[in-house]
Structure 1
Amino acid sequence: MTHSILKRLGIFFLPLGLCLNLVVNAAETPQVLTDIQSENMAPNWMISTVSGKELSLYSELEQGNSVVMVFWASWCRHCRELLPAINTLNQEIEGRKIKIFALNIWEDGEPLRYLNNKKIELETALKCDNVAKRFGIKGTPGVIVVGPDKKIVYRRQAGQKVNEVIAKIKDVTHWAPDPAAKK
């Protein structure tokens, strides 16, 4: 008798389990496809800079700019090596469709004092931890370059030297002058 009851329960629960499995997997499939399709697409952000500007990533990109984002913290030794080189690069971009932003993250020091002492003049925003999270930044310095098509074209790899990062930024932004700047 117990065997008969178990058989009936099995006949009932097996199709139910299969249906539930299909429903659960069907619900997950679009998310997986969305993640794969948008893997290289940059999420938008809106930030307030220390100079009082309200900026949007997509707004900058829609103007035909490539955007370089440097995620940094004042306590980060590698950031202290990279930021002066990025600052020099920023001084060389006149006439190019490139914007560079220093996005301060995971800070427990005094980032503005650090920038002022080092005479670094980058467009800076503080407390950008949420932006870093959306871009999958797991360490500092993080560098991401987004092209005008909203695709991530470069992500700094751990251990890359400063000169390699600068060369890669120049490469992926095609370091070409803005034709409108010549007029």
Structure 2
Amino acid sequence: MVFQKKVNIYKCYQFGVPKVVNSGYKPNEVKTMQTKFVIALACSVGLVLQAFSQDEQAVKILKKVNQAQTQKATQVYYKYTYKGWGKLAGRFVGEVKISRKNGMQLWVHLKTLDEQGQLKRDEFIVTNGRAIQLLDNTAKMYKYGTARGGGAYLMSYAWYAVFQESLRPQPFARATKDTTLKYEGTKDIAGVKCYVISRTNPYFQDREYWYFGTDDYLIHGQRKENHQPATEGGFTFHMSALKTNMNWTKSDFALNVPKSFKKIDEDQRPVKVGNQAPEWTLVNTAGKTINSQQLRGKVVVLDFWASWCNPCWQIMPMINALKKDYAQKNVKVLGVNVWENPKLDLKKYLKKKKLDQYEVWLDKDATVAKLFKIAYLPLIVVIDTQGKIAFLSNGRDAQLNKKLREAIDRALK
């Protein structure tokens, strides 16, 4: 604590309280300053203790949830509805089967709806954590692959139907250590009375609500609200018709694939360095198109991104600088916007981020993202002059700028 009234002040501490010596202050002034210090110290200690304290009621409920999920939810069935807004916009309904007996098995029926509630896409996704299958009844296609091969992206939409925390060996055990937990009372979710537990993430400015049955202590829903401008939006996820301890076998997780459906082995056409890149077409905000054939003979850098993806816009200045540095060389740098909030004004967004010169092309229906089997963002792809993939990165590399430039320089030779 610094007193600014007179300069000749020396402080010593007696039981943590400053004692002002030879300061020229009157006794009553010294007493006032000491009193203020004690009050400030008490407030500071209180704030620190509050910051590290937990809501005991919330922790008590979560511990019971962990026990219930572990004991009762080894084989679970439920119906679900997902409704998102803002950057998390989307509508999905369907059914889910989860088995955690002798390894994990997941079966998801995913129906994608438009804003009017009409069916847009009807899919089934099945995985045991290693092999992944997708049956697309709308496109009449059956795709399959492995998580470590070319099939990881097949799981992308499954997470709209599954509360991922419930798949952990000890569900919600880690959450009991969260100091932002708060018991919010009860709420009815699809006819089930539930405890409401909330938690916050100050960095991402989001708030999450979990709904647990007051009788069974199982998860029945979730709500999330993001308030950071780059990720503003949210969603509600509600479960109904929940059944536990089912007596399923492997056949309950099998897909019935019609003979007429086109079959695609994703592991046989992996997107990896050295392989031929898929042919693609993009459009910009003015309606102009560009495709891979037009750029053959150039080194092409594709930066897949979305405004809600924090790592994406963190590397944008680097990508923008790279475009400027290679402007006079045989290199084309394109920002590919995918899975974006349709209501976002990209021009205003980039201007706000001071990235007006960042060249944006749109992949509105994620067609190109699917060609490159993207399961996460960001993804940076370098394609050489012969149309082969020369470099791939998820953008989370401290040496990204160096490695990316080295890959471009090699491709230019």
Aligned: 1:132 with 2:369: yes
Aligned: 1:123 with 2:332: no
Match of 2:289 in 1: 54
Once the 2 structures are TM-superposed, how far is the Cα of residue 95 of structure 1 from its aligned partner?
1.5
Extract unaligned runs of 5+ from structure 2: 1-262
2:269 pairs, out of 11, 19, 35, with 35
TM-score normalised to structure 1 length: 0.68
Instruction: Give the letter aligned to residue 102 of structure 1.
Output: G
Native 8 Å contact 1:90 1:100 kept in 2: yes
Distance 2:302 2:309 in 1: 16
Once the 2 structures are TM-superposed, how far is the Cα of residue 165 of structure 1 from its aligned partner?
2.1
Distance 2:405 2:395 in 1: 19
Aligned: 1:174 with 2:409: yes
Match of 2:388 in 1: 151
Match of 1:22 in 2: none
Structure with the higher fraction of residues in helix conformation: 1
Distance 2:352 2:277 in 1: 32
Match of 1:105 in 2: 338
Native 8 Å contact 1:60 1:67 kept in 2: yes
Compute the RMSD of aligned alpha carbons: 3.1
Once the 2 structures are TM-superposed, how far is the Cα of residue 157 of structure 1 from its aligned partner?
3.7
SS at match of 2:302: strand
Aligned: 1:72 with 2:305: yes
2:329 pairs, out of 78, 92, 96, with 96
Native 8 Å contact 2:311 2:395 kept in 1: no
Distance 2:295 2:299 in 1: 8
Once the 2 structures are TM-superposed, how far is the Cα of residue 123 of structure 1 from its aligned partner?
2.1
Native 8 Å contact 1:66 1:146 kept in 2: yes
Instruction: Give the letter aligned to residue 125 of structure 1.
Output: W
SS at match of 2:295: helix
Match of 1:18 in 2: none
Match of 1:19 in 2: none
Larger Rg: 2
Native 8 Å contact 2:315 2:395 kept in 1: no
Native 8 Å contact 1:76 1:140 kept in 2: yes
Once the 2 structures are TM-superposed, how far is the Cα of residue 59 of structure 1 from its aligned partner?
1.5
> How many residue pairs align between the two structures?
147
Distance 1:33 1:105, change over 3 A: closer
Distance 2:380 2:365 in 1: 13
Distance 1:33 1:83, change over 3 A: closer
TM-score normalised to structure 2 length: 0.32
Match of 1:9 in 2: none
Q: Deviations over 1:47-69 (max 9, x none)?
A: 111244321112112xx210000
Native 8 Å contact 1:95 1:177 kept in 2: no
1:142 pairs, out of 364, 374, 379, with 379
Native 8 Å contact 1:103 1:128 kept in 2: no
Once the 2 structures are TM-superposed, how far is the Cα of residue 145 of structure 1 from its aligned partner?
0.6
SS at match of 2:279: coil
SS at match of 2:318: helix
Distance 1:168 1:83 in 2: 16
Distance 1:32 1:129, change over 3 A: closer
Once the 2 structures are TM-superposed, how far is the Cα of residue 175 of structure 1 from its aligned partner?
7.2
Instruction: Give the letter aligned to residue 144 of structure 1.
Output: V
Instruction: Give the letter aligned to residue 323 of structure 2.
Output: N
Once the 2 structures are TM-superposed, how far is the Cα of residue 169 of structure 1 from its aligned partner?
1.9
Once the 2 structures are TM-superposed, how far is the Cα of residue 128 of structure 1 from its aligned partner?
5.8
Distance 2:378 2:266 in 1: 29
Once the 2 structures are TM-superposed, how far is the Cα of residue 34 of structure 1 from its aligned partner?
6.5
The higher relative CO (CA closer than 8 Å, separation ≥ 6) is in: 1
SS at match of 2:269: helix
Distance 1:32 1:87 in 2: 33
Distance 2:395 2:370 in 1: 17
